[in-house]
Amino acid sequence: MAYREYDVSSRSEGLRNAALVAWICYAVGLLSSWLTGPIGFVVALVKRGDSVGTVYESHFNAVIRSGIICFIGYTLGWITVWIGIGFVILFAVWLYNVYVVIRGFMRLMERRPYD
């Protein structure tokens, strides 16, 4: 997928700020039992259509993809917690989520696509 060079337009800055809000919501969600994660997910869903063809499109796609993966993983972890393996699943999903958020922040600050 080809991305346009970074432009300093207000549209581009608005998309960057929206991606930053989504990543911040995910980061805070890591520490607050995912209370703010769904807000970041909704921001990404709403702004994804506006970001087509920009470097921020991949950030919104990453937020949505990781949100779905984490929802499934956390659900599976909580369902299987009674047999003991659930805690391992929950921890693995949390580690994956930490990786995704850190990578997302680093790429966003460099104004590079997530992919």
**CA nearest neighbour of 64 among 41, 86, 46:** 41
Q: Average pLDDT for residues 4-21, to the nearest whole number?
A: 79
Domain membership flag for residue 66? yes
Domain membership flag for residue 60? yes
Domain membership flag for residue 58? yes
Domain count, the chain: 1
Q: Average pLDDT for residues 43-51, to the nearest whole number?
A: 95
Please answer whether residues 114 and 58 qualify as being in contact, where contact means their C-beta atoms are separated by less than 8 angstroms: yes
If you count DSSP H runs as helices and E runs as strands, how many of each does the chain have, helices first? 4, 0
pLDDT in tens, 73-87: 999 999 999 998 999
In angstroms, the CA 53 to CA 11 distance is 12
pLDDT in tens, 54-74: 999 999 999 999 999 999 999
Domain membership flag for residue 46? yes
Please answer whether residues 95 and 24 qualify as being in contact, where contact means their C-beta atoms are separated by less than 8 angstroms: no
In angstroms, the CA 31 to CA 99 distance is 14
| Structural domain for 21, as ranges | 10-109
Q: What is the pLDDT of residue 31?
A: 87
Domain membership flag for residue 100? yes
The percentage of residues in the chain with a pLDDT greater than 90, rounded to a whole number, is 78
Domain membership flag for residue 97? yes
- Give the pLDDT band of residue 11 (cuts 50, 70, 90): confident
Q: What is the pLDDT of residue 45?
A: 96
